[in-house]
Structures are given as structure tokens and as C-alpha cells.
Structure 1
Amino acid sequence: MRGLRRWWDDTAGGLPATFWYLWSGLLINRAGAFALLFLSLYLTAARGAPPSLAGLVVGAYGIGGAAGTLLGGVLADRWGRRATLLAAHLAAAGLMAALAFSTHLAVIAVLATLVGVAHSMPSPAFVAAIVDVVPEARRSRAFNLQFWAFNLGMAVASLLAGLLAEASFVALFLVDAAATLTAAVVIALKVPETLTRRPALTPRAVAGRRPGLHTALTDRTFLVFVALTFLLAVLTMQTSTIMPLAMRADGLRPSAYGLVVALGGALIVVGQLFVPRLIEPYRKSTVLAVSTGLMALGFGALTVADGLPLYLGAAVVWTIGQMLAAPPNAQINADLAPPELRARYQSVFYLTFPAASFVAPALGGLSLERLGERHWLVVGALGLVAAAGHLLAGPRRERRVAALRAAAAEPVKSAR
């Protein structure tokens, strides 16, 4: 019993109540966010759209997501985290309900774009609010739990989506809207505003230029980190974009692909809570280099994979890499952001994922077609480049974080 309690203290102890309400809202949101998983099937089966048009509508959702990420970051720093979260959740619930009863394809395309905006707006605000309320020493654990909740919610969503889609597509969208509305109620009742107005601490503010989104877009240290995260995201996207094609080329059935994906999800749900204690003694850049190296090894191993056992073994390796990478990746992103631009930095960081969701299938499909199994050697090489990049960029990032902490502490010393 003592061992279990100690493990829980190491994993989640000392986190404030506001974090747990944010965590609950995120879990409810993700567990109910399943309508878009079946959007292309809904368009083709229920609305008679050709696959090409269905692909364009799904792509419109992705474009909306990129715009929503930036918009959410700006609003979270101006309006506040709570206001942005509430506005995004309420808008998403209303749009999803409208989507349930829309029949015209042009209207569905517009609504899908707006849903993409509303679905992506909360991400910067969620993370910025977590950084606001969680002490620095506990942030790695908080981000680990955030990653765990996200994947647990997606696992639940995948299960429920299949059941609801067989019963009714209208029910699929309406239950999604209800879950989003429930998350909004939790935030409205239990999450206070966490944004505190501080004097500007960025070098540009000192020089007399008002800090804004341009500060994040011209911050070289931060952009190097974003570029390395983009490479990691390209690796991660292989599982949902290129790997199914490779498995089909190897003569494997769709059920085999589902088993590989399910194995990765199960490993994260079961093992993610043990990650903070495992990585705590090591520098974040070292952990990211090792984790990205594991992902490179896992995907590179698919060069020789021709049966389900090898795919499953490779999935174990790259999933462990993903699990190790999640907490330090999120914490470095938070540490590099000046307090008054926290959400804007988050929005630029989160742009890597829609960008990777476009680049991975667009270039990956061409690479697989031209190179065949050697495509996975290219993917593995990208992972090794990212691993080396984290080792080289780590010292500069640490110096930058130390400077930001010193600048943040200076007003406190002066006040005292």
C-alpha cells in the first residue's frame, strides 16, 4: 500500500485542483470528439459525396484547425484562458449540432472548416492554463497526465464512434456536441481565470516594441525547437498515413493494422503514468534525443517487416519513444515562452501537427511509391537527425530558460 501511495505521489501528487478540472475537461472533450473520425465515411455513405470531395472537406477541417490554433493562442493571451476555452467549446458544440442536420455539401464544408477552428482553439489555452497553475517542479508530471488523458480519451472515442456510426450518424454528431458542452460546463463551474497580467519580459519589449505573435515567429531558439518537434510529428503521423499502405502492400488485412494501432494505444494508457519517475533524473534534451532515437529505430525497422509480428514489435519500440518524448517536449515548449506570451508560443508550437499531417502523407506517399521499403530508412534517418538536433540545441535552450527565469524573478526581488 505504501508503494502504491508513493507511486501516486510521484505521478500526480501535489497538483492543484484547477489542473484536475482542466484535465477532466480535456478527457471529456477527447472522449467525445469522435464525429470527425467518421467524417469522410459520413460524407460518402450518408450524403453521397465522391471520395475526392470528401477528402477536400476533411482537408478544410485541417485548414480550419491551423487557423484556430493561432487564433486560440492570441485570444488566450488577450481575453484569458477561461474565456477562450468557454468560447471555443460552446462554438464547437453549436457547430457540431448544426453539422448533424446539414444536408447540402457546401454548407457541410463551411461548417467543417469552422469546427476545425473551434476544435483547435482550446489547445494553446489548455496548456497555458496548466503552466499558469502548476509549479515548475510539477509540470513534467502534469504534461505527462495531459498526454495520458488525451490518448485515453481518443481510445474511448474510437470505441464509441464505431458503435454510434452503425446506429445513426446524426446521433454521432449530437453526442459529440453534448460531450463538448459538458466539458464547457466543467470549465465554467470549476476553472477560474488563470491569466495574470505581468510586465512584458521579452527582449523586444525592453527595446520598446510591443510583444505579440511576431515575437514567437522570430524567436530562433524557439523555432529550432519547433522544427525538431515537426520532425517528431512527421514520424508519429506515419502510423496513420503511410503505414496502412505499407501493411497492405505486404499482404496484411485491415484488422492487422487495427491491432498495431490498438497495441500502441494500450501501451500508452497502461505505461504513461510510470514515465515521469523514469525520466526525472535526466536532462530534457537527453530524454528527447533517446526517445526520438527509439522512434527512428522503430520506424526504420519496418524496412525488413513483412509480417504482423515484426510490425507489432516495431510498434512497441516507437510507442515507448512517444511516451518518453511527451512530457519533456511539452515542458520545454512551456519553459521557452515568456509568461505574457505563453499561449501565443503554444499556438505556434501546435502548428507543427497540422503541418505534419499534410507533409507526412503528401511526401510519404510519393516516397513509398518511389522507394518502396527503403522509405522507412528515410523516416529513420529523419528521426536520427532530430535526435542529434536535440543534443546540439539543448545547451542553448537551457541558457535561454535560465535567462527567462532570471527576468521573471527580477520584478519580485524589486517589489520585496
Structure 2
Amino acid sequence: MTVIQPLTSHERTRWPRSLVALVIARAVNRLGSFAMAFLAVTLVEVHGASLTTAGAVVAAFGLATIPSRLLGGWLADTVGRRPTIVAGLVACAAAQLVIAASPGVIGALVGATLLGLAYEIYEPASQALIAECVEPERRPQAYGLYGAAMAVAGVGAGALAAIVGGVDLRLLFVADALTCLCAAALVLALVRDTSTPRSSQDRSGPSPWRDRRLLTMLALGTGFATAWILSTVALPLTVSARGHDAAATGWLLLVAALVTIAGQRLLRSAAGRPFPLMRAGLVLMAVGFAVIAYAAPFPLLALGCAIVALGEVLLLGPPIALVAGLATDVTRAGYLAAYGTCWGIAQTIGPMLATGLMSLGQPIVWLAGAGLCLVLAAITAAVARVCSPGPCPEPR
């Protein structure tokens, strides 16, 4: 009931059909996105690659996601939101099939790089479309629902990965390609494009890379994304080192998903106070990290993961809604693409940082993540003074 109600009503007002369709498409796509977690394992077990080579291939994927975001923003502002979303999902499906069909490491590297270049194309267009079909005061909750779709689908994704991966690891990429195509079909059939494609000469408004507010939000977002990547890399290693089997990590992820779904109600009044909510989210993440740093019993690990998940709820919707409000209609996808590069940066440096800190001791990586979150929380007041909500000034 908690999941269905927010999708259909909000203070007696229905969500737009396009938003509901995007949320469903995101959930369908998420069902198959577990494949990337098995890329390194596939390279080692199927193709006989060394761990160093597997790490280099995964790093190539991460680096390629940065220009992918920027390309997605440019396409969304040039040819439209819906065509960009569909093209990005179809391109992801094609790249996944290249990985699945690769006879060796070189083919897998080509496929992984192509996948990285396609992986984020649909994201800026999706985020811009949400901003344009929902009232500004409802954007934080709308983005929260969009993010929660990943958590909902993540509950079933692990089971699907276990079934398909037990047969052949390469089938994981085939399954991911199929979910991409299904999501593209849903968007094509149900989503109405809200944009008017314009040429670059017709576009107005400043470049996001010259907007101090956007760059400040990008720095804050990169810090949060890095902390999040640290936790995702360190969690399964920590659970294993403390004597729990691999299934325990799945249960912890389930706890986090349930908290993410239940926590969406906290975003109902987020539009008027994004920075206090972001500060609270960072503090909650720091507390959760500190609990996990020294927790050995499973209930304590679950408590730490639940606290972290609650903090993440407050850090996913409000920042994106705030960035969407900094741009004009014709530059919104470009702004969201520039902001989204924080995830590509974090995916590139986060895994290496996490494994390096883990080598110093299990608690170190969690305490480092907690310290990073507290530093970010301390500077949110200064960020708020720079990044006041509201659209960019119209060009003269």
C-alpha cells in the first residue's frame, strides 16, 4: 500500500501518467541492471582474465559513463526527452549483447566501454521530463519515487540474478538487454514528450559549467556519491569478514530497500527546505556508517544499513529537484547531465578508494565515509547561500 499510494495520489492529486510510466520503466530496467555487478566475475571465470585486467575493464566502463551523461543532456535538449530515453535504453541493450557474445577479454572490453557510453544517456532526459511534468513543489517527492523504483525492483533483482547466473553468467547480460528493451517500449508507448527540440543557436541560458550554483552542487553531489560508492563496495566485504555468508548481504539490501520505500513520505514537504533535509540525510548516513564500522551481529548491521538508507532518501530527491530549478526549460537536461557526472566521478575513484581503505582495516573505510558525510553536512549552510532555489536569470 505504501508503494501504490504515492504513485497514484498526492494530497488527492494524481501523479501525471508520464511520471508513473517512467517509474515503472525504471523498475523494469532495474530488474536486469544487476549484470554490471558480475562483469568482473564474468571476465575472470568465463574468459580467464586476471583480477588486474578485470579491474581495468570495469574502470573503462566507469570512465565512459561521464561523457555518456553529457551526451544524454545534449541530446535531450536538442532532439527531445522521449527519443533520447528510448535511444539510450536501446543502445544499452545492444552493448549488453556485445558483452554476452564476446569470445574473449578484448570483446568484453569493447562491450563494456560501449555500455558505459550508453549507460547514462537516458538519465538527464528522464530527470528533465519529470521536472517538466510535475509542479516545482512536488519535484523532490517525484524524484524520490523515481529513485525508490530502483529499491523496489532491487528486491527481485537479486533473486533473478541467482537463477540466471547459476546457469551461465553471460545470460545475465542477455537478461539486462531484454529489460532495457522492455523499458524502452514502455516509454515509447506511455510517455509524452514535454520538450520542444531546439537547435543550439536557439538555446538560451548560461552554460552549466559557468554557473557557480551548479558547480557548487556538483561538488556536494560528488562527495555524497563517493560516500555511497564506498559503502556499496565495502558492505559485502565487511559482511563476509565478520563471519556472515553471502546471503546476509542480500538481506541487508532488502532492509535498505524497505526503508527507502517507507521513507518517501519524508519528502512531501521537501521543496521548501532542501538544505536542512540534505544536512539531516548526511548526518544520518554518518551515524549509520559509524554503526556498521563496529557492528558484528547481523541485527546491528541491519540497523546501520537502515539508518544509511533513511539518509539516502533525503539525499536523492531534493538535490536533483534543486538543480532542475536552477535551469531554464531549454537547458534543464544539460544542467542535470552536468550534475549527474558526480556519479561517474565517484564510480571511477570510489572503488579504488574503498579497497585501499579496507586494506588498512575494516572500520577505516566506514569511519572515513562517516567523516566525509559530516564534513559535507557542515558545509551545507555555505552551499545554501550560493545555491538559492529558483530558475536561472533570463538572458538579456
TM-score for both structures, normalised by structure 2:
0.89
Matched, 1:254 2:246: yes
Is 1:91 the counterpart of 2:91? The answer is yes
Q: Where in structure 2 are the equivalents of 1:71-90 lying within 5 Å?
A: 71-90=71-90
Gap change, CA 1:163 and 1:372, over 3 Å in 2 = closer
Equivalent residue number for residue 44 of structure 2: 44
Tell me which of 309, 323, 336 is aligned to 2:326: 336
**Is the deviation greater in 37-46 or in 327-336?**
37-46
Distance 2:337 2:379 in 1: 22
Shift of 1:49: 2.1
- Counterpart position of 2:208: 216
Q: Is 1:184 the equivalent of 2:184?
A: yes
Shift of 1:167: 2.1
Please give the residue correspondences for 1:206-245 in structure 2 after superposition, counting only pairs within 5 Å: 215-245=207-237
Unaligned runs of 5+ in 1: 205-214, 411-416
Go from structure 1 to structure 2 and tell me whether the alpha carbon gap of 1:23 and 1:249 turns closer, same or farther (over 3 Å shift): closer
Answer whether contact 2:136 2:271 (CA < 8 A) is retained: no
- Please tell me whether residue 16 in structure 1 is matched to residue 16 in structure 2: yes
Task: Name the Cα RMSD after superposition.
Answer: 2.7
Instruction: Give the structure with the larger helix fraction.
Output: 1
Query: Aligned with 1:196: secondary structure?
Result: coil
CA 1:365 to 1:157, structure 2 compared with 1: closer, same or farther past 3 Å? Answer: same
Q: What residue number does 1:307 align with? A: 297
- Paired position in structure 1 for 2:356: 366
Deviates more, 1:239-248 or 1:110-119: 239-248
> Is the 1:69–1:124 Cα contact (8 Å) retained in structure 2?
yes
Amino acid in the other structure paired with 1:393: V
Instruction: Supply the AA of the counterpart residue of 1:233.
Output: A
Aligned equivalents of 1:23 and 1:256: distance in 2? 28
CA distance 1:386–1:339, change in 2 (3 Å)? same
**Identical aligned residues as a percent:** 27
Q: Secondary structure at the match of 1:179?
A: helix
Counting matched residue pairs gives 391
Residues 325-381 of structure 1: per-residue CA shift (max 9 Å, x gap): 222122112112232211111111111112112322322333343466344333222
Give runs of aligned pairs for residues 108-257 of structure 1, distance below 5 A: 108-196=108-196, 200-202=203-205, 204=206, 215-257=207-249
Residue 402 of structure 1 pairs with residue 393 of structure 2: no
How far 1:303 moved relative to its partner?
A: 4.0
Counterpart Cα distance in 1 of 2:12 and 2:221: 26
Of structures 1 and 2, the larger Rg is shown by: 1
Give 1:250-399 correspondences, 5 Å limit.
250-269=242-261, 271-277=262-268, 279-280=269-270, 283-370=273-360, 373-398=363-388
The 3 A distance-change label for structure 1 pair 101 and 200 is: closer
Q: Deviations over 1:5-61 (max 9, x none)?
A: 799633794321122222222222112223223222222222222222222222222
Question: Using a 3 Å threshold, how does the CA distance of structure 1 residues 190 and 234 change in structure 2: closer, same or farther?
Answer: same
| Residues 216, 93 of structure 1: alpha-carbon distance in 2 compared, 3 angstrom cutoff | same
Q: Could you list the structure 1 runs, at least 4 aligned residues long, displaced by more than 6 angstroms after superposition.
A: 4-7
| Cα offset, 1:247, TM superposition | 4.1
344-353 or 256-265: bigger deviation: 256-265
Amino acid at match of 1:276: L
**1: CA distance, partners of 2:162 / 2:61:** 21
Shift of residue 143 of structure 1? 0.9
String of CA shifts for 1:90-132, please: whole Å, max 9, x gaps.
Answer: 2222232233222132112101110122121111111011112
In the alignment, what sits opposite 1:208? Answer: none
Distance 1:281-1:43 versus aligned 2 partners, 3 A rule: closer
| Cα distance, 1:171 vs structure 2 | 3.4
Report the alpha carbon displacement of residue 70 of structure 1 after superposing the two structures with TM: 1.3
